[in-house]
Amino acid sequence: MPETPERDLAPNPQRVVLVTGASGAGRSTALNVLEDIGFEAIDNLPLSLVPKLLDGNEVRPPLALGVHTRTRDFSARALADLIQQIWSASHIEADVLYLDCRPEVLLRRFSETRRRHPMAPAESPVEGVARDLDVLEPIRELATILIDTSDLTIHEFRAEMTARFAAGGEAPLALSLHSFSYKRGLPHGLEMAFDCRFLRNPYWDPSLRHLDGRNDEVVHYVGEDGRFGTFVEHIVTLADFVLPAHRDEGRSHISIGFGCTGGQHRSVAVAETVANRLAATEWQVSIRHRELERRAQIASAAASGSGA
């Protein structure tokens, strides 16, 4: 297996991974993993357009390009020429990832999905698998990274991809924390939700009613409830326990919700506090306050005269 040719690279070269291999070997899964760890993933781009995509020296996110025998204007010769062209560019740092797989395993995968093989739509998958592997053999010889997926489970394959391509060998797990009002229902897509309605309610203090849980006075008021600190501590402890397990399972995103009656005070204060605690331990955290965003949109519409 060849290594990427030695050459003098420009500062901050464009990172590119060409992902190829026989149909059924796992190209789509590989692209999904690369996208989860920060690559911009593009599948089935015509080969003639790739040089235009890589032209220029501006800083771009790393690119993962899926190429297979169904790609428009594909031929082994054209792909080999493109690889050599990319390797000769000083502003590009490129690898060719070839996903290998034994013919009998590819055949079993097509039999299980009952899909027609793209290289033999009117014939049996046996002919399609053989043609696919034969056409791609010259590209296999050019691969700088080869992963045999024949005996890998989906989780093992994702772990292998992550170990090879993610910074530090671990894929980042993105967390999104949501505050919401139970009167308007739970936000869509939450993995976990916590009810904050048992905590001391700032709504009943006229001086705090117009504020929200991002305000220090509101946080102090809610924090005077002796259960607040213990509640937050239990949530952080639970998160520290389950989040690494979700990441190891290949999850790329987890949503956690915090609800109260109006979605303005208690849920916001808890979400902000938990977000700060988790971010301090280097989790990638974003936060959304659904009801506060809704109020801001209504106020903006009213101010512009466009209505709610």
Q: Same structural domain for residues 145 and 244?
A: no
Instruction: Please check the confidence at residue 64 and state whether its pLDDT lies above 60.
Output: yes
Tell me how crowded residue 142 is: count the other CB atoms within 10 A of its CB.
18
Instruction: Please check the confidence at residue 71 and state whether its pLDDT lies above 50.
Output: yes
Residue numbers of the domain that contains 24: 14-169
| The pLDDT of residue 308 | 47
Q: Same structural domain for residues 164 and 91?
A: yes
**161 within some domain:** yes
Q: Render pLDDT for 251-289 as a digit per residue (tens, 0 to 9).
A: 778 899 999 999 999 999 999 999 999 999 888 899 999
How confident is the model over 217-238, as a mean pLDDT?
97
Considering 169, 203, 227, which residue would you say is the last residue of a domain?
169
**84 within some domain:** yes
Place of tokens 């208690």: 266
Instruction: Please check the confidence at residue 49 and state whether its pLDDT lies above 70.
Output: yes
Instruction: Please check the confidence at residue 236 and state whether its pLDDT lies above 80.
Output: yes
Query: How far is residue 260's CA from residue 184's CA, in Å, rounded to a whole number?
Result: 10
Q: Same structural domain for residues 18 and 165?
A: yes
How confident is the model over 101-124, as a mean pLDDT?
75
Q: Which residue has the higher pLDDT, 173 or 196?
A: 196
How confident is the model over 67-88, as a mean pLDDT?
88
Q: Same structural domain for residues 228 and 282?
A: yes
Q: Same structural domain for residues 24 and 57?
A: yes
| The pLDDT of residue 6 | 56
Question: Which domain CATH number covers 129?
Answer: 3.40.50.300
Closest CA to 169 of 183, 158, 181, 179: 158
Q: Same structural domain for residues 255 and 125?
A: no
Q: Render pLDDT for 33-43 as a digit per residue (tens, 0 to 9).
A: 999 888 999 99
Q: Which residue has the higher pLDDT, 57 or 228?
A: 228
Considering 169, 196, 229, which residue would you say is the last residue of a domain?
169
Q: Same structural domain for residues 153 and 245?
A: no
- Number of folded domains in the chain? 2
Query: How far is residue 22's CA from residue 224's CA, in Å, rounded to a whole number?
Result: 62
Q: Same structural domain for residues 186 and 228?
A: yes
